[in-house]
Structures are given as structure tokens and as C-alpha cells.
Amino acid sequence: MSKKSAKDYPIRSPLITRFQYYPLVSKKEYSKSRLHEMLSNYFGNSFRELISFFAKENNLSLNELEELIQDVQQDIDKNKNK
């Protein structure tokens, strides 16, 4: 075995390489796509099954479910008026 000296190792100089990444798809479009995928793969394209699952998993009260229905109805009404 030979002893290695400092000159036997390559000299590393700092190299700074920066890349800027940005999404090709908006967060809204990505979320929408993933939700549709989850709806078809896990809930048989049934929105009712999806809501029922999340309501049970999160122990939503009847009051919270009614508020959710009201929020959805307001969004539907708002979109109709556009």
C-alpha cells in the first residue's frame, strides 16, 4: 500500500449551477386532473361516493354537511350568472 498525498486527489472547485423550475400546468388544472383521476379510479366516477367517503373519514356532522351543500349551491349559482 502506498501513502497518498494531497496531490493524488483531484482538486474540486466550487461549481454553482442553478436551474429554475416552473410548472407547465397550473395548480388548479393539476388538482382538477388528479381529482377526476381519483374519482374514476377509486369511486367509480361517483361524486356521491367520494363525498360520502370523505364525510365518514372526517366525521363530518350534519351541520357541516349542510354548510358544504350551501357552499356548493352558491358556487353553482355564481357560475350560472357568469
pLDDT 10s digits, 13-26: 666 777 788 888 89
Domain carrying residue 75: 28-82
Instruction: Give the tens place of pLDDT for each residue, 28-40.
Output: 999 999 999 999 9
Angle at 53 between CA 25 and CA 61, to 5 degrees: 110
Q: Which residues are CB-neighbours of 10 under 8 A, at least 6 positions away?
A: none
Asked if the structure places residue 21 within a domain, the reply is no
Q: How many domains does the chain have?
A: 1
| 22 within some domain | no
The mean of the pLDDT values for the chain is: 83
In the prediction, which pLDDT does 21 show?
Answer: 82
**Average pLDDT, stretch 39-58?**
90
User: Does residue 35 fall inside a structural domain?
Assistant: yes
3-state SS string over 8-55? HCCCCCCCCCCCCCCCCCCHHHHHHHHHHHHHHHHCCCCHHHHHHHHH
